[in-house]
Structures are given as C-alpha cells and as structure tokens.
Amino acid sequence: MTTTAKAWHLALAIVSGSACAGALAQEFSYSGFGTVGAAVSNKDYKYQRFITDNGTVKRDSVLGVQFDAKFSSQWSATLQAKVAPAADNDSKWETSAAWAFVSWRPSNEWLIRAGKVRLPLYLFSENLDVGQSYEFVRMPTEMYSILPTTDIAGLYVTRNWALDSGDLSLDVYSGRAPTVVQRSYSRDTGTAFISVTTRVTGGVLTLRAEDSTWRLGLHHAKSDFNDDQIQAPATIQNIPLGGGYNVYLPTAFVREFRNDIVTFGFDISLPSDWRLIGEFERNFQRDIALGANTAGGYLSVLRKMDRITPYVTIASLKTVGSAARTRQKIADVVAPPLAEAGQRQLLDTTPFYDQYSLSLGASYALTPQSKLKGEWMHTWIGKGSAMVDSPAGAGPVTNDTIDVLSLSYNFVF
C-alpha cells in the first residue's frame, strides 16, 4: 500500500470510529491549485536539484486538488493530493497526498486533527504548494529546506485564545513520516536517494494581530535509516600517513540521529501598502559529525501597487559549529592518490551550506484566482553548498555565483 493510501485510510478509519461516522457529509466541496513554472540559470551544473542553463519546469511546477467533507458542526475531513517531481527520482513525477486528516472541533477554542498533516514549521507551511496565495516565485530555499519532510502522519492539537490585540494560538503536534527521501550527490557516483524514517514532535506559538503575524516554534526530529546497511559517521578522525599526506576517516557510526530546530517568523503590514516578512532558523544537529547544523533565514520587503507587488529578498544558509569546522578540514586535506576518491565522497555527501542570495521579483494579479510571477535571483556560493551538484571530474563549486531567472503562472479554482 502506498503512503498516500495509508494516510487516507487512517483518516477514514478515524471517521468511521466517531459518532458521526454513519452520517453522510452535510457539505462537500473541492478546490484545485497549480503552478506552471520555468527556471534557467547561467551555469551548466545543477542548482536546487533541477536548475541549469538548459532550463527546467520541474523546480516549481505542481498541480493539486483538495476535497473537504463536513459531517457536522464538529467533524470534518480533508484530502489534498498533488502531482509534482518525485522525491526519489530526478526524472519522474509522482502523485502523493499532502494532507489526509480528520478534524474535530469540540469548541471554538480547540481543534484536533488526526491523519496526515502539514508541519507548522514555516509561516507559509499550510499553503506552500499554492503559489497563488503568496507573492514570491518560490519561498526562499535557504529557509524552506531545513527539514527533509513537510508532512507527518500523527496528531495535531490547536488551542486558540481571543485577545484584545488579536488571536493567540498554540499548535502541538507529533507524528511520523515512514519514508523520507534524502537526496545526496557525489562527483564520482552521481545522485543517490536515501530513505529514512523521521518522527517530529513540536510546538508553535502564533500571534495574529490586525496588521501582523508572529510565530515561534520548537521542533524535535528523530531519524533513522530504513536500510540497515546505511549508517552515518558519528565521529571523524584525522589519520596522518606520512610524506605530508593525511586522510579523514569515520571512527564510529550511528543509524539514528536527532535534530532540534528553533524557528521564528513575522509578517508585518506597514503604511502605504508596504510589507515586511522574515523567517529565521537554527537547526542543531545531534549524534553525527557531518550533519546539517545550520543557521539561516530570509528578510523580504514588498510593496503592493494595485495588481503588481514587487519584492526584494535577501537570504542566507550556513553550516556552523563543529560540523563546519570538520568539513573544512576534509576540504583542506592533502590525501594520497589512492585515497582521493574516498575523501571526495566524504566531502560531497556532507550536507554543508555556505550561501547567500538576493532576489528581485514581482507578482501580477491577472484575476483574483491567478497570478503571473517573475524573479531574478543572484546566489553567492562560499565554501560550498549541498544545493549544487558540482561537475564530475572537477573540483567542488566554491567562491562562485549563480544567476537564476524564473517565470511562473499560478492559479486556484
């Protein structure tokens, strides 16, 4: 049974066990959304998995449909399916269920959802796939790539408080994604897809006022490899070989590893139709020596001018701490010829980031249900980035810049 089917069957099972299970839905509705996007860069190597100087429609294109059934004033169910590039294959497309959950609202203050739900990790988590609902061509990857999964199957509880200054909500969730695909690339062996099981538990506090939204989140993720033969280096040690040669080798391995993630975001409406949006993260890597121990985020300034909304975004993502220092030591090592391939493999497959970007873009509202968007993005790569597939037979891409032009048509119905 596919993950999509399992999630939807879980939702249906919960409905069938409730008091309203025997009743037909009082209301049934459906909606759809889609993005047809094209992106091209000025480099022949891949950036963000798909973008090259040949152009691609895979980076941003998605098509989805959502079904909502209301059984009573308290019970409802939602299914959202989408077609997008496959997570485990750079050449294929796949259909998956982003949402498949049942909702129970016992009162105006409480909402409980069970099934496959979207993690409340970002300001735009719930509508991330619906490009028509925001102004950017794409949400900044430096922020929106910090966790390998956006969806879990589990329980999601929301408590709301009505305040004089707005609404305060607390989201507490816990769930499991049994198949999370992590993409890895090496100059020698090409692309590999590694499957892990990830359980994520967290809490998010959100304040929504008349002219602003503020969000603070704490998230704990525990992952383990689905393939018993795959392990991650827990410690790395330098081995002197004499003659000026050294190599770095793993000295211990683990099959499970943890991440603790802190997120903070705000969306502020300013006078004269200006708008300020920012999100920031700190991802603390536990248990492994060469993990995604990152700090990053973005800041955007937008100005609505009738149907046109131009924006400027600056973003950054950096690996920090011991993970960055260890990775740099591997990059600087002088290995003997017979060990060079192993050192390249260790270097390439490390989830390391040292990049900044500047984006200038705009959206144009064709109708209330559709937008046309365009963007130029300039990215600086410092000591390296796992978002880049460095060319085979050459050194890793460092101290380089990438220009990306993007155009997309976004719609809902």
**Per-residue pLDDT, 14:** 43
CA dist., res. 68 & res. 74, Å (int): 14
Token pair, residue 315, equals 């973003």
The reported pLDDT for the residue numbered 24 is 63
Tokens 């903070």 -> residue? 264
**CA Rg value for the chain:** 23
Kindly give, in sequence order, each residue whose CB lies less than 8 Å from that of residue 59, ignoring residues fewer than 6 positions away.
Answer: 37, 39, 48, 49, 50, 51, 138, 406
Q: Does domain 34-58+118-412 have CATH number 2.60.40?
A: no
pTM score, whole prediction: 0.92
Among candidate residues 109, 121, 122, 60, the one with its CA nearest the CA of residue 85: 60
Q: Are 10 and 153 in contact (CB under 8 A)?
A: yes
Beta bridge partners of 249: 237
Q: 262 is written with which tokens?
A: 């802190």
Residue 154: strand pairing partners: 115, 175
Q: Is the dihedral of CA 113, 115, 118, 120 positive or negative?
A: positive
Contact 101, 11 (CB under 8 A): yes
At 133 the pLDDT is 97
* CB contact at 8 A, 255 and 231: yes
**Which pLDDT score, from 0 to 100, does residue 3 have?**
45
d(CA 357, CA 379): 4
Give the residue from 18, 4, 25 showing the smallest Cα distance to 112. Answer: 18
Residue 386 has a pLDDT of: 96
Residue-level pLDDT, tens digit, the chain, 413 residues: 444 444 445 444 444 444 344 446 789 999 999 999 999 999 999 999 999 999 999 999 999 999 999 999 999 999 999 999 999 999 999 999 989 999 999 999 999 999 999 999 999 999 999 999 999 999 999 999 988 788 999 999 999 999 998 999 999 999 999 999 999 999 999 999 999 999 999 999 999 999 999 999 999 999 999 999 999 999 999 999 988 899 999 999 999 999 999 999 999 999 999 999 999 999 999 999 988 899 999 999 999 999 999 999 999 999 999 999 999 999 999 999 999 999 999 999 989 999 999 999 999 999 999 999 999 999 999 999 999 999 999 999 999 999 999 999 999 99
What are the structure tokens assigned to 310, written together?
């131009």
The gap between the terminal CA atoms of the chain, to the nearest Å, is 30
Contacts 24+ apart (CB under 8 A), 335-338: 335/245, 335/246, 335/247, 336/241, 336/243, 336/245, 336/247
Query: How many other C-beta atoms can be found within 10 angstroms of the C-beta atom of residue 165?
Result: 10
Amino acid occupying residue 377: M
Chain centroid, CA 379 distance in Å: 18
How many whole angstroms separate alpha carbon 10 and alpha carbon 72? Answer: 20
